[in-house]
Chains A and B, each alone.
With several copies, the nearest count.
Chain A
Amino acid sequence: MRTYDPPGVPMTRHFPGVILLTLAAGTVSSWAAAPAGPQPSPLPAEHLTIATVGPKSPHWVYVVDYAYANEIDSRVYLFDGDTYRRIGQIDTGFIPGVNLSPDGKTTAVATTYFARGGHGTRTDVVEFNDNNTLAKTGEIVIPPKHAQTLAMLFTVAYSSDGKFVYTPYLTPAASFGVLDPARKKVLSEIDTAGCTLVFPWGPNRVSSICESGRLLTVTLDAQGKEASRTSSEPFFNPDQDPVFAQAVPLPDGYAYVSFLGQVHEIDFTQPKLVMRTPWSLVSATEKGTWRPGGVQIGAVHRSLGKLFVPMHRGGDGSHKAGGTEIWVFDLKSHQRTARWPIDTKELGSVIAVQVSQDAAPLLFAATETANVLVLDAQTGKMQHVEKKLGQTPQLLLNP
């Protein structure tokens, strides 16, 4: 509006509304100073302020609401698991990728906008938001082919030193972009031979998952260009027992969980990926009946070495069904240490889990009916139910 020069309408004429306001402001301020009436003395005039985010708490959670029925209007709610209040909001556009910088100071949003709301020229961007002010601080325009898919941590991601940002592309040709968040520019686009998504490791390695059951790993040079690529041995069979693409981050790599509950832990810390011996979430008798499912299908507490998985009774094709229970596993012994049933009639089944990384951890669980549950991650005790936190919350991130 500031840049538009209205044809022949001087802006100085006729503001009945604002004129009254002006009088009000003038007159009221004098009254506020005037002697008080009968006791108790009148309430003082209040001052409008802008709230600040305040000191970060490990019990905060970023809740990504994909708003399926209004998909151009997805957003992130920053929610406090102790006070059960919203701290603020970050707008995230259309089928976004959302991730935090390694230092937690920035939220990166890879998303799509249209020139006319839901139609018109498509512009894809990675937007950067300051987590201390929840204000947008900048953006990088990327090729208009951001991979628009299921909520997960791998549709935008940072390198471990925060110097690169990776964004998967799909046209349907698969590739990914390497961005420089400091200089706000696109450094390169790297073809992934049909492998997809970005699983980052270290300062300069990006893996993508392939239909062959392998991981393709690209190593970047200092300019963000491809230096080399290697392909792992196959570690799963997409026909017999596919793994969820939404891997679970481990202290030293990622765990790829299969539809039937096999856990494929992969050590990313070595020059070549090291596939550990797979282990199972389910017993021989449970196998095929009890299954992991949902969207964000696992979360790990790193120092406690615990894995949390929403589980349900299902069959072929039930891999997106939410959990009727949350199962807890010890990552060393691979033993199940607890199973916590959820009142799914009342709350809905659990489609996403996240756990805070502190010593008194909270388990956050989003349900298919848009409730966000807050549980004690050590006892499973339900602390709070935040009803209807948005429309379709499906991804939970730690601060």
Chain B
Amino acid sequence: MKPDRIFEKAARSLAKRTSRRSLLASLGQLLTGAALLPLLPIDRTARAQSPSSPVAKPTADEQNCEYWKYCAIDGFLCACCGGTSTSCPPGTQSSPITWIGTCHNPGDGRDYIVSYNDCCGKVSCGDCFCDRNEGEKPMYRLSRNNDVNWCMANTESNYHCSVSVILGVAQK
């Protein structure tokens, strides 16, 4: 399993100035209502849904379960369902909450933090099922779990497919 230094670092710095419980409470406050979304990786979807959204032209890589970005995905690859590795198919909505993975890119030798999002509101795509679990954790560590239906909080909460979005480089 790849090290999640990002979390260790964050946890350490936060530990200095707050107890876990008050941290949970204070963050909990931020995590409600509209205030929640700007904090999440997925605030980008707001822009994404503008008319400038692309017509999907998935590469062969993106339709292949072995693609490095998919190291902790579990579901149908949106690139086979009308989307790409970073775009939900037409007529679906992306999940505002998500799980993440740390994937090694053989192309540049770096580890990247990847956000996996479910695309929601249509029944199962059914194509290109891909289940990879590098660094995946059980449900008690929710942010690293790919088993739950991450469409759970969507107005239309049916699960259609999953995407994989690079957030940034994981520090060495």
Q: Is A85 an interface residue (CB 8 A)?
A: yes
Residues of A within 8 A of B32 (CB): 11-12
In-complex Cβ contact of B141 among A26, A43, A211 (8 A): A211
In-complex Cβ contact of B105 among A43, A51, A75, A94 (8 A): A43
In-complex Cβ contact of B149 among A54, A73, A134, A149 (8 A): A149
Q: Is A122 an interface residue (CB 8 A)?
A: yes
Min distance, Cβ A321 to any Cβ of chain B, angstroms: 9
Known: A50-B92, A149-B147, A317-B136. A22 touches B123 (CB 8 A): no
Residue-wise interface mask of A (136-151) relative to B, using a CB-CB cutoff of 8 A (1 in contact, 0 not) = 1000000001011110
Instruction: Let me know if B123 and A51 touch, CB within 8 A.
Output: no
Which of A113-121, A158-166, A182-190 sits within the interface?
A113-121
Instruction: Let me know if A69 and B40 touch, CB within 8 A.
Output: no
Residue-wise interface mask of A (3-26) relative to B, using a CB-CB cutoff of 8 A (1 in contact, 0 not) = 000000001111111111111111
Instruction: Let me know if B40 and A22 touch, CB within 8 A.
Output: yes
Min distance, Cβ B98 to any Cβ of chain A, angstroms: 6
Min distance, Cβ A370 to any Cβ of chain B, angstroms: 11
Instruction: Let me know if B140 and A52 touch, CB within 8 A.
Output: no
Chain A's closest residue to B142 (CB) is A17
Known: A145-B152, A172-B97, A317-B133. A91 touches B123 (CB 8 A): yes
Query: What is the bound-complex CA distance between A148 and B29, given in angstroms?
Result: 25
Instruction: Report the contact-size class of chain A (Cβ under 8 Å from the partner).
Output: 35 or more
Query: What is the bound-complex CA distance between A17 and B150, given in angstroms?
Result: 11
Instruction: Let me know if A49 and B53 touch, CB within 8 A.
Output: yes
Min distance, Cβ B68 to any Cβ of chain A, angstroms: 10
Query: What is the bound-complex CA distance between A321 and B25, given in angstroms?
Result: 37
Instruction: Let me know if A119 and B82 touch, CB within 8 A.
Output: no
Residues of A within 8 A of B90 (CB): 50-53, 87-88, 133-135
Which of A242-250, A277-285, A342-350 sits within the interface?
A242-250
Query: What is the bound-complex CA distance between A29 and B42, given in angstroms?
Result: 12
Q: Is A374 an interface residue (CB 8 A)?
A: no
Residues of B within 8 A of A362 (CB): none
Q: Give residues in A with beta carbon < 8 Å to B.
A: 1-2, 11-29, 31-32, 37, 40, 42-54, 68-73, 75, 78, 85-91, 94-95, 112, 114, 117-119, 122, 129, 133-136, 145, 147-150, 170-172, 194-197, 209-211, 238-239, 242-245, 316-320, 390-391
9 nearest A-B pairs in the assembled complex, by CB-CB distance: A17-B142, A134-B91, A49-B48, A54-B55, A118-B123, A69-B126, A88-B82, A317-B134, A20-B143
Given contacts A172-B153, A317-B132, 9 further A-B contacts (CB under 8 A): A14-B28, A19-B23, A31-B168, A42-B112, A50-B53, A88-B81, A88-B89, A149-B145, A242-B137
13 residue pairs from A and B, CB less than 8 Å apart: A19-B31, A51-B84, A72-B158, A73-B123, A73-B124, A89-B89, A89-B91, A89-B160, A112-B157, A134-B91, A147-B148, A170-B148, A196-B140
